[in-house]
Amino acid sequence: MTGLFSDVFLSALLFGAVTAAVPLLLAGLGEQMSEKAGVLNIGIEGMMIAGAYFGFLAAFSFESLWLGFAGGAAAGAVVSLVMVLLCVRLGLNQIVIGIGLTLGLEGLTALLHHVQFSRTYPRLPAADIASIPLLADIPIVGPAFFQHNPVVYLAVLLVPVMVFIYRRTQLGLNLQAAGDKPAALDIAGVDVVRTRTVAVLTTGALAGLGGAYLANVGAGIFVPFITNGAGFLGIVLAMLARGRPLWVLFGALLFGVSLSLTTALQVAGINIPTDVIQMIPFLAVMIMLVIFGRQSSLPAALGIPYERGAR
Amino acid sequence: MSVDTAPEMSPDLEATEAVETGGLGQAILHRTLLTVGPIVIALVIAGLILVTVGVDPLAYYGYVIQRGLLSPTGIQQTLTRMAPMLFLAAGLIVAFRAGIWNLGVDGQFLLGAVTSAAAAPLLAMVMPAWLAVVIAFVMCTIVAMAWSLVPALLKAYHGVNEIITTLMMTFLGISLANVLVKLVFLDPGTTVPQTRTLPVEDRLPRLFDTTISSGLILGLIAVIAVHLMMTRTSFGLKLRVVGANPRAAVHAGLGVPWLTIGVFALSAGLAGLAGAVDVLGVQGNVRADWNPAYGLAVIPMVFLARLNGFASIAFVLLLSVLSIGGESAARRIGVPNHFTLVLIAIVLIVLAIVEYVDHRYLSARRA
Amino acid sequence: MTSKATSAPTDRQPIVALEGVTKRFPGVVANDSVDLEIRPGEVHVLLGENGAGKSTLIGLLSGLQQPDDGRILVDGTPTAITSPRHALSLGIGTVFQHTMLVPTLTVAENLLLGGPWWQRPRKDSLRAKVDEISKSLGIAIDLDAYASELSLGEQQHVEILRALIRDSRILILDESTSMLTPSGIEELGALMRRLVERGLAIIFITHKLKEAAAFGDRISVLKLGRKVGEIAPERFRTLGEDALVSEFVELMFGKRHGDPEDEFHAPRPSIEGRPPVLSVRGLALAPTAVTPGLTDVSFDIRPGELLGVAGIDGNGQKQLAEVLAGQTPQDGGTIELDGRRVETLPVGARRDAGLRYLTDDRLGEGTVGTFPVSINFFLKQIGTAPFWKHGIEQGAAIDRRARELIREYDVRTPGPQTPVARLSGGNIQKVLLARELADGARVVIFNKPTYGLDLANTLATRKRINDIAASGKGVLLISTDLEELLGLCDRIAVMSGGAIVGTVDNGDDARPAVGRLMIGLAA
């Protein structure tokens, strides 16, 4: 029986933290882009679970993890398309549609899974790991951070990509204008609806990818409601990160640690009931919101559909 | 950030528009179409989903109605199931009319259920059953209200979006409820993890000779009382002002932070009572990992009813039929009751679309 | 006001022409068969009171709306201007009345909005271009400042610059002077002159007759959606300012003399020697990221006195009103109403004591649009008798009093149950007037009361304000319309940066004194 702060425990904890953080990171980055552009995407949980199920289905049916990831991203994007059509184009209430999408997809994926897999509950083989040479040999930190499925590295690389987009491209300016003062963007000759569409579709794809990772790599299996609030945690991350992709990464790692405590503690031989452990991430969220909530700055036009020349 | 309720669904605007455009009869027809329409369309779309998984939709719907509405045992179960849902509807109406998205109702429900399940059997051993039940009700209301305090304060004083905070509290609440059931209030007398069971004779009485719980009556009273409060009292009007135009509320000198906290408390308390009614009237105890998740399912019903208390009763009945029938269908036909969730979600989305189409069409007509 | 250049080439080919253009909205014809020609090298003024259809025309020209009938010709070819992007590509640049800059972006970033999305913003080539244009126009632009940090006048310069960078041939200025000081207005006039000399065409929209006379080369007068007259440059140059104003008045309102907004108000009884009804000392409010604060604001208002507050919008006037009314708690200072300290009382209690506040934001803050007119009358009295007894709504009492108020204040509404958002702007204003003035007002604070109203309602409101003061109440009139203040007030205080920088007695030299105070020179 090894104790707390042993190498094995720390390694397991950090490894688990990264694995748990990736879906949160992807969801958070995606939601951040939507919110920057002025769309409050409550349906992100639905996009994640759609990505989880269809990603699992694709990986299982085609026996390819990469097709699984692609399928998950595509599924998430398709769901976000509904949001684009109804909320960005027609201007329906973003919260009502978001709740509808989340509930509907949670039910639909559970239904489909039951019909297809409830007797067999198939598992996926363990995901391939890509070790980064040299770095993977560092004690404790090596196996924890540098022996992951390639998607993990992709997700982390996404952070500087987002920073680049926001700070150094016209697209970044367009997104910020769409969220802060869409009328000004319209007058400058840029299509506000198209800008927001890009943002929401990206969110859907990233969330779907995150869900696919959760099912295919994190768990190796799909069970109904597997995301268990990961999408909403992504919204929290986006809210607290105040427009900075790097902070989404830190927040995701933080929550990842709290999520991975269960397995890590079991490895360390300490037995705290699962339900207590499960409270920790949400407790952490509430504490963060209490401390930092009032400073979460959200774009001015968030949640308000854009109508040109509205009377 | 303050979020208004779906702007297309303002109940006050509907009321006055009804009288002005072409008479009461036409208004009623219009309203009926706008309400029944989304349900029918949703049934069709959901039916298509059933087809893709190899189930005959007509057979399924027929079975659901047969089992949930037409059979004697079924209708009694349906009416009993309505009790907690009516309390939830009442809680949601209060919140939505005041512009607050209280999505924490499921967490408040569970904690209210656990509180009453833990308290009632112990109290019943030392006092008359009716008193135990009343005290259990009070306790669960307080617990549920307390559970809404953090999101309420964050919203009232820091403007933190309550959608996220209440959702997080729900997840937290579900886990906490499990912890309480498994670790704190565990019944030592059984092997199944659950709280002590309240004996049947101590639970809420049944109505006459039926198996319908008297919780139904309590639920009806709750919804009607909430409706009357919102539409006829000054307190209700203040809440509606905050919901319709928060800046006007400040301008008019309404104490918005206190009203906000009050709304959260009221809404959460009613959700907690829903949990208590279910436990003390039907279940008798709380099993581990029990989470019927009625809360979010009631949301589309309340919107269908345009946040009107009386109309909500009809839609809650509909939901209850679907729920009871769906559970039965899960056993018999093999369609899991997740399908009910899908159907409800489709209703919500279709309703929003229909409202939009109507809004475009109606305003074009008025030109 | 500046004089115009004496030579301007006439009969140039119009860049843009409107032929029989009509635009309808539910319940109103905003533009009715309008013909218009915009020529280069000319300041073409569109003159009309609020509601005449000027803003709609701009919307059509800048691509925000499409006409229902008629056609628009660009360089002689019928063209449908389908979007703002299209309008920009045709050379039509618009500076709207309310600033269209993104506050969280820098000036440079705002100017670069609209480039191809994958590119890096080209800040260096922008800098070069901006330097060249701003030098030739004599204006200074800080490219690295955030748009939110600029004054309103500076923001206007940026937007004009943006149009020029896009090689606009037509510059549309929509009510651009409403936010400027008198000297700022003169500067704008001179800038327009320089732009027109470069060959630009300018469409200058206003409802101020004097500005139209001072800055225009050609005038088209709009009334209720129709063009009722045009004065060509030749005729324009031969008439003096007064004659021009008379001609405008005749076109806009029929046979009258002089600017109707110069209406004479009946003199009010003397206010000397009576104790003040409102006494404010040392009022202070901390500034926030988006609002200016208040610094040591002190003044008295005597019963029957009309004190005006002038100043550029956004210098603390709104905050002053909100602090006085009780909406925002102050950080220091005292407020006395009839000798009684009220600064600790909430909104309702101050209102009961007689302190009333009529907000400028009629639908956003003053009323709940979806609620009936009757409820809006009593929005600040929810729960009080006789309209509520033990918390229960007394529909009959509410209805009865609502009907009385509707009659008394001439509110045009289908009924007391009509949602207030359905009423026209002037009638919503009347609802607010009825609410604040009826029963026991002692001091009334008005914030921009005639903003956005047509002439009839504007005059009626001003008369009512005058009558209120005449009846012995105190009035605080906050306004950006200097003419309005000069026409009504006994004294005018000028606010700048959250403080009162000076108070001027109304008289012949009040106008220049106020102007000097507004730009920071002592009176």
Write the pLDDT tens digit of every residue in C184-194.
Answer: 888 889 999 98
How far apart are the C-alpha atoms of B77 and C251, rounded to whole Å? Answer: 77
- Judge if C328 and C387 occupy the same domain: no
Both C177 and C87 in one domain: the answer is yes
pLDDT tier at B234 (50, 70, 90 boundaries)? very high
Of B169, B179, B300, nearest to A275 by CB-CB distance is B179
DSSP helix/strand/coil, B186: strand
Determine, yes or no, domain membership for C422. yes
Residues C67, C43 share a domain: yes
Q: Is residue C38 part of a domain?
A: yes
pLDDT band at C4 (very low <50, low <70, confident <90, very high): very low
| Nearest CB to C370; choose among B12, B252, B367 | B12
Q: Is the ipTM of this complex over 0.90?
A: no
Whether C64 and chain A come into contact, CB under 8 Å, resolves to yes
Last residue of a domain, one of C262, C291, C307: C262
In chain C, the residue whose alpha carbon lies closest to the alpha carbon of B244 is: C368
Q: Say what the pLDDT of residue A4 is.
A: 59
Determine the residue of chain B that is closest to A302 in CA distance: B1
Question: What is the mean pLDDT of the segment spanning B69-98?
Answer: 92
Q: Do residue A181 and residue C103 have CB atoms under 8 angstroms apart?
A: yes
Residue C483 belongs to domain spanning: 265-354+440-523
A176 and C104: CB-CB below 8 Å? yes
Burial class (CB in 10 A: 0-12, 13-18, 19+), C507: exposed
Q: Name the neighbours of B, counting chains with at least 3 Cβ pairs within 8 A.
A: A, C
Instruction: Provide the domain count of chain C.
Output: 3
- Find, in chain B, the residue whose alpha carbon is nearest to that of A293: B160
3 state SS of A252: helix
User: In the predicted model, what is the mean pLDDT of residues B292-297?
Assistant: 88
CA-CA distance, A199 to A72, in Å (whole number)?
A: 18
Residue C492 covered by a domain: yes
Q: Which residues of C touch A183 (CB under 8 A)?
A: 100
Tell me the CA end-to-end span of chain B in Å, nearest whole number: 34
Cα dihedral B212, B217, B223, B227 sign: positive
Q: The tokens of B316 are what?
A: 């809650």
Q: Which residues of C touch A174 (CB under 8 A)?
A: 113, 117
Q: What is the pTM of this model?
A: 0.87
Residue B58: alpha-carbon gap to chain centroid: 28
Shared domain for C332 and C270, answered yes or no, is yes
* Residue C516 and residue C402 in one domain: no
Q: Are residues C430 and C459 in the same domain?
A: no
* End residue of a domain, out of C424, C439, C454: C439
pLDDT at site A108: 93
Average pLDDT score over residue span B178-203: 82
Domain boundary among C439, C474, C503: C439
Whether residue C365 and residue B241 make contact (CB cut-off 8 A), yes or no, is no
Model confidence at C523: pLDDT above 70: no
Q: Please report the pLDDT score of residue C366 as a whole number.
A: 93
Please say if the pLDDT value at position C405 is more than 90: yes
Cβ–Cβ contact C116 with A under 8 A: yes
- Are both C326 and C465 inside the same structural domain? yes
Cross-strand pairs, B194: B287
Whether the bond into C386 is cis, omega within 30 of 0: yes
**Mean per-residue pLDDT over chain A, rounded:** 86
Chain B residues whose C-beta is within 8 A of a chain C C-beta are 10, 12-13, 16-17, 19-20, 232-235, 237-238, 240-241, 244-245, 247-248, 250-255, 363-364, 366-367
For residue A3, pLDDT beyond 60: no
User: Which of A39, A45, A86, A111 is most worth mutating to test chain B (most B CB atoms within 10 A of its CB)?
Assistant: A111
- C133 part of a folded domain: no
Q: What confidence tier does B186 reach under pLDDT thresholds 50, 70, 90?
A: confident
- Taking the CA of residue B259 and the nearest CA in chain C, the distance in Å comes to 14
Q: Hey, of B16, B231, B238, B306, which one would you mutate to test binding to chain C, going by the most C CBs within 10 A of its CB? A: B16
Q: DSSP labels for C127-163?
A: HHHHHHHHHHHT----TTSBGGGS-HHHHHHHHHHHH
Q: Residue for token digits 């506050």?
A: C103
Over residues A258-291, the pLDDT tens digits come to 888 866 776 666 777 777 877 888 888 888 888 8
The answer to the question of residue C140 being in a domain is no
Is B251 in Cβ contact with C359 (below 8 Å)? Answer: yes
Q: Given pLDDT bands bounded at 50, 70 and 90, which one contains residue C207? A: confident
* Mean pLDDT score, A237-248: 89
In a domain, C155, yes or no: no
Domains delineated in chain A = 7-295 (1.10.3470)
Residue of C nearest to A179 (CA): C102
pLDDT of C6 over the 60 cut: no
Query: Beta-carbon neighbour count of residue B124 at 10 Å?
Result: 22
pLDDT at A1: 45
Q: From C85, which residue of chain A is nearest by alpha-carbon distance?
A: A189
Asked if C211 contacts C192 with a C-beta cutoff of 8 angstroms, the reply is: no
Nearest-CA distance B286 → chain A (Å): 16
Q: Are residues C209 and C257 in the same domain?
A: yes
Q: Quick one: C393 and C514 in the same domain?
A: no
In a domain, C281, yes or no: yes
Q: What is the pLDDT of residue C35?
A: 92
Q: Which residue of B has its CA nearest to A116?
A: B53
Q: Are residues C191 and C252 in the same domain?
A: yes
Tell me whether C132 touches chain A (CB under 8 Å).
Answer: no
pLDDT band at C11 (very low <50, low <70, confident <90, very high): low
C514 and C381: one domain?
Answer: no
Residue C256 has pLDDT above 70, yes or no: no
Which tokens sit at C196?
């027109």
- Domain contains C111: no
Residue C37 clears pLDDT 80, i.e. is over it: yes
Q: Are residues C96 and C197 in the same domain?
A: yes
Q: How far apart are CA C129 and CA C124, in angstroms?
A: 9
What residues contact C94, with CB distance under 8 A and at least 6 apart?
Answer: A187, C58, C61, C62, C87, C163, C171, C172, C174
Enter the DSSP assignment of C275.
P
Q: Yes or no: say if C421 and C255 are a contact pair by the CB < 8 Å rule.
A: no
